[in-house]
Amino acid sequence: MKQLLELFVSFAKIGLFTFGGGYAMLPLIERTCVEQKKWLTNEDMLNVTVIAESTPGPVAINCATFVGNKQKGFLGALFATLGMVTPSFIIILLISFFLESFLEIKWVAGAFQGIKIAVAVLIVDAAIRIFKKIEKNALTLTITAVSCLMLLAVDFLSVRFSSVVILLTAAAVSFFVYLAKRKGKGGKENDLS
Protein backbone atom coordinates (compact mmCIF):
# COMPACT_ATOMS: atom_id res chain seq x y z
CA MET A 1 0.00 0.00 0.00
CA LYS A 2 2.81 2.35 0.91
CA GLN A 3 4.46 1.67 -2.42
CA LEU A 4 1.18 2.28 -4.27
CA LEU A 5 0.80 5.63 -2.54
CA GLU A 6 4.38 6.49 -3.37
CA LEU A 7 3.67 5.78 -7.05
CA PHE A 8 0.53 7.90 -6.90
CA VAL A 9 2.27 10.83 -5.22
CA SER A 10 5.36 10.73 -7.44
CA PHE A 11 3.30 10.80 -10.62
CA ALA A 12 0.93 13.40 -9.21
CA LYS A 13 3.97 15.64 -8.71
CA ILE A 14 5.10 15.03 -12.28
CA GLY A 15 1.59 15.77 -13.52
CA LEU A 16 1.38 18.93 -11.44
CA PHE A 17 4.70 20.45 -12.36
CA THR A 18 4.99 19.87 -16.08
CA PHE A 19 3.43 22.19 -18.56
CA GLY A 20 3.12 21.45 -22.23
CA GLY A 21 2.27 17.76 -22.22
CA GLY A 22 3.99 14.43 -22.69
CA TYR A 23 7.33 15.21 -24.25
CA ALA A 24 7.95 18.00 -21.78
CA MET A 25 7.40 15.44 -19.02
CA LEU A 26 10.00 12.92 -20.13
CA PRO A 27 12.97 14.69 -18.45
CA LEU A 28 11.08 14.91 -15.15
CA ILE A 29 9.93 11.29 -15.39
CA GLU A 30 13.54 10.32 -15.98
CA ARG A 31 14.80 12.32 -13.00
CA THR A 32 12.14 10.90 -10.68
CA CYS A 33 12.04 7.28 -11.83
CA VAL A 34 15.65 6.66 -12.84
CA GLU A 35 17.77 8.94 -10.66
CA GLN A 36 15.74 9.40 -7.46
CA LYS A 37 13.56 6.33 -7.00
CA LYS A 38 15.62 3.87 -9.07
CA TRP A 39 12.40 2.36 -10.39
CA LEU A 40 13.78 2.21 -13.89
CA THR A 41 17.22 1.63 -15.39
CA ASN A 42 18.46 3.92 -18.15
CA GLU A 43 17.72 1.15 -20.60
CA ASP A 44 14.11 0.85 -19.32
CA MET A 45 13.72 4.58 -19.79
CA LEU A 46 14.86 4.37 -23.39
CA ASN A 47 12.52 1.44 -23.97
CA VAL A 48 9.52 3.19 -22.49
CA THR A 49 10.18 6.25 -24.65
CA VAL A 50 10.23 4.08 -27.78
CA ILE A 51 7.07 2.23 -26.70
CA ALA A 52 5.29 5.50 -25.88
CA GLU A 53 6.14 6.83 -29.31
CA SER A 54 4.78 3.83 -31.16
CA THR A 55 1.58 3.42 -29.17
CA PRO A 56 -1.43 5.71 -29.22
CA GLY A 57 -2.57 7.92 -26.37
CA PRO A 58 -0.93 10.49 -24.13
CA VAL A 59 2.81 9.84 -23.80
CA ALA A 60 2.71 10.62 -20.07
CA ILE A 61 0.04 7.97 -19.51
CA ASN A 62 2.06 5.38 -21.42
CA CYS A 63 5.04 6.10 -19.15
CA ALA A 64 3.06 6.09 -15.90
CA THR A 65 1.36 2.80 -16.78
CA PHE A 66 4.70 1.21 -17.69
CA VAL A 67 6.50 2.30 -14.51
CA GLY A 68 3.58 1.48 -12.20
CA ASN A 69 3.17 -1.96 -13.73
CA LYS A 70 6.87 -2.69 -13.38
CA GLN A 71 6.79 -1.82 -9.68
CA LYS A 72 3.49 -3.29 -8.50
CA GLY A 73 1.70 -4.94 -11.42
CA PHE A 74 -1.81 -3.91 -12.39
CA LEU A 75 -2.53 -1.94 -9.21
CA GLY A 76 0.75 -0.10 -9.54
CA ALA A 77 -0.13 0.85 -13.11
CA LEU A 78 -3.54 2.05 -11.96
CA PHE A 79 -2.17 4.19 -9.10
CA ALA A 80 0.61 5.72 -11.19
CA THR A 81 -1.82 6.58 -14.01
CA LEU A 82 -4.40 8.03 -11.61
CA GLY A 83 -1.63 10.05 -9.96
CA MET A 84 -0.62 11.44 -13.34
CA VAL A 85 -4.12 12.66 -14.24
CA THR A 86 -5.50 13.76 -10.87
CA PRO A 87 -3.85 17.22 -10.61
CA SER A 88 -4.75 18.33 -14.12
CA PHE A 89 -8.23 16.84 -13.80
CA ILE A 90 -8.95 19.01 -10.76
CA ILE A 91 -7.37 22.14 -12.26
CA ILE A 92 -9.19 21.85 -15.59
CA LEU A 93 -12.48 21.03 -13.88
CA LEU A 94 -12.22 24.25 -11.86
CA ILE A 95 -11.27 26.26 -14.94
CA SER A 96 -14.21 24.83 -16.88
CA PHE A 97 -16.61 26.38 -14.38
CA PHE A 98 -15.52 29.95 -14.99
CA LEU A 99 -13.65 30.12 -18.33
CA GLU A 100 -16.69 31.14 -20.34
CA SER A 101 -17.71 34.02 -18.08
CA PHE A 102 -14.05 35.01 -17.88
CA LEU A 103 -14.01 35.23 -21.69
CA GLU A 104 -16.82 37.76 -21.62
CA ILE A 105 -14.47 40.37 -20.16
CA LYS A 106 -13.41 42.56 -23.05
CA TRP A 107 -9.65 42.54 -22.58
CA VAL A 108 -9.63 38.80 -21.90
CA ALA A 109 -11.53 38.19 -25.14
CA GLY A 110 -8.96 40.40 -26.87
CA ALA A 111 -6.11 38.40 -25.36
CA PHE A 112 -7.65 35.15 -26.61
CA GLN A 113 -8.11 36.69 -30.04
CA GLY A 114 -4.31 37.04 -30.11
CA ILE A 115 -3.70 33.64 -28.51
CA LYS A 116 -5.87 31.93 -31.14
CA ILE A 117 -3.45 33.10 -33.79
CA ALA A 118 -0.48 31.75 -31.84
CA VAL A 119 -2.23 28.39 -31.34
CA ALA A 120 -2.44 27.87 -35.11
CA VAL A 121 1.34 28.40 -35.21
CA LEU A 122 1.81 25.89 -32.36
CA ILE A 123 -0.26 23.29 -34.21
CA VAL A 124 1.80 23.65 -37.38
CA ASP A 125 4.91 23.33 -35.18
CA ALA A 126 3.57 20.10 -33.62
CA ALA A 127 3.28 18.63 -37.13
CA ILE A 128 6.84 19.69 -37.96
CA ARG A 129 8.17 18.18 -34.73
CA ILE A 130 6.67 14.76 -35.44
CA PHE A 131 7.76 15.02 -39.08
CA LYS A 132 11.38 15.50 -37.99
CA LYS A 133 11.26 12.24 -36.07
CA ILE A 134 9.86 9.96 -38.76
CA GLU A 135 11.88 8.20 -41.40
CA LYS A 136 11.63 10.03 -44.69
CA ASN A 137 11.15 7.99 -47.85
CA ALA A 138 8.88 8.07 -50.88
CA LEU A 139 6.13 6.24 -48.98
CA THR A 140 6.07 8.36 -45.81
CA LEU A 141 6.32 11.62 -47.77
CA THR A 142 3.42 10.55 -50.00
CA ILE A 143 1.30 9.55 -46.99
CA THR A 144 2.03 12.91 -45.31
CA ALA A 145 1.10 14.91 -48.41
CA VAL A 146 -1.99 12.87 -49.31
CA SER A 147 -3.43 12.88 -45.77
CA CYS A 148 -2.83 16.61 -45.45
CA LEU A 149 -4.59 17.31 -48.76
CA MET A 150 -7.45 14.96 -47.92
CA LEU A 151 -8.14 16.67 -44.61
CA LEU A 152 -7.90 20.11 -46.24
CA ALA A 153 -10.48 18.90 -48.76
CA VAL A 154 -12.72 17.94 -45.83
CA ASP A 155 -12.35 21.45 -44.40
CA PHE A 156 -12.61 23.58 -47.49
CA LEU A 157 -14.70 21.54 -49.92
CA SER A 158 -17.07 20.10 -47.33
CA VAL A 159 -16.24 16.52 -48.29
CA ARG A 160 -17.32 14.26 -45.44
CA PHE A 161 -15.16 11.50 -44.09
CA SER A 162 -13.36 10.83 -40.85
CA SER A 163 -9.64 11.30 -40.33
CA VAL A 164 -9.69 7.87 -38.70
CA VAL A 165 -10.29 6.55 -42.23
CA ILE A 166 -7.14 8.40 -43.34
CA LEU A 167 -5.12 6.92 -40.47
CA LEU A 168 -6.35 3.36 -41.04
CA THR A 169 -5.79 3.61 -44.80
CA ALA A 170 -2.24 4.86 -44.19
CA ALA A 171 -1.57 1.95 -41.81
CA ALA A 172 -2.93 -0.53 -44.36
CA VAL A 173 -0.98 0.95 -47.28
CA SER A 174 2.25 0.92 -45.28
CA PHE A 175 1.59 -2.67 -44.18
CA PHE A 176 0.93 -3.89 -47.73
CA VAL A 177 3.98 -2.09 -49.09
CA TYR A 178 5.97 -3.91 -46.42
CA LEU A 179 4.41 -7.27 -47.43
CA ALA A 180 5.09 -6.60 -51.11
CA LYS A 181 8.70 -5.69 -50.37
CA ARG A 182 9.19 -8.82 -48.32
CA LYS A 183 7.74 -10.93 -51.07
CA GLY A 184 9.99 -9.12 -53.53
CA LYS A 185 12.99 -10.25 -51.55
CA GLY A 186 11.87 -13.85 -52.19
CA GLY A 187 10.89 -14.46 -48.59
CA LYS A 188 14.51 -14.50 -47.49
CA GLU A 189 13.71 -13.00 -44.15
CA ASN A 190 11.77 -15.43 -42.04
CA ASP A 191 9.76 -13.44 -39.57
CA LEU A 192 8.60 -15.84 -36.94
CA SER A 193 7.33 -13.36 -34.40
Partner 1 sequence: MIYLKLFLTFLKVGLFAFGGGYAAVPLIRETMTAQNWFEDEQLMELIAVSESTPGPIMVNLATYIGAKHGGVLGAAVATAAVILPAFIIILLIVKVMKNALKNEGVKAAVDGIKPAIVGIILATGISMAAGNIFAFIPEDAAVFDLKAFVLTAVFALIYFGSRKVVKNGISPIVLILLSGAAGVVLYGI
* Separation between Cα atoms, residue 89 and residue 12, nearest integer Å: 11
Q: Which stretch binds partner 1 (CB under 8 A): 1-9, 17-25, 32-40?
A: 17-25
The residue count for binding partner 1 (CB under 8 A) is 102
Q: Which stretch binds partner 1 (CB under 8 A): 1-9, 34-42, 84-92?
A: 84-92
- 88-127 residues in contact with partner 1 (CB under 8 A) are 88-89, 91-93, 95-97, 99, 103, 106-127
Q: Which stretch binds partner 1 (CB under 8 A): 2-10, 33-41, 177-185?
A: 177-185
The least distance separating partner 1 from the CB of residue 38, rounded to whole angstroms, comes to: 19
* Separation between Cα atoms, residue 166 and residue 181, nearest integer Å: 22
Q: Counting contacts by CB under 8 A, is residue 84 touching partner 1?
A: yes
Q: Counting contacts by CB under 8 A, is residue 135 touching partner 1?
A: yes
Instruction: Closer to partner 1 by CB, 34 or 169: give it.
Output: 169
Report in angstroms the alpha-carbon separations of 87 from 38, 58, 63, 173, 185: 24, 15, 17, 40, 52
* Separation between Cα atoms, residue 68 and residue 78, nearest integer Å: 7
**Beta-carbon contacts of residue 62 (< 8 Å; ≥ 6 apart):** 48, 51, 52, 55
Q: Which stretch binds partner 1 (CB under 8 A): 1-9, 33-41, 169-177?
A: 169-177
* Separation between Cα atoms, residue 177 and residue 30, nearest integer Å: 37
The least distance separating partner 1 from the CB of residue 17, rounded to whole angstroms, comes to: 6
* Separation between Cα atoms, residue 47 and residue 26, nearest integer Å: 12
Q: Counting contacts by CB under 8 A, is residue 5 touching partner 1?
A: no
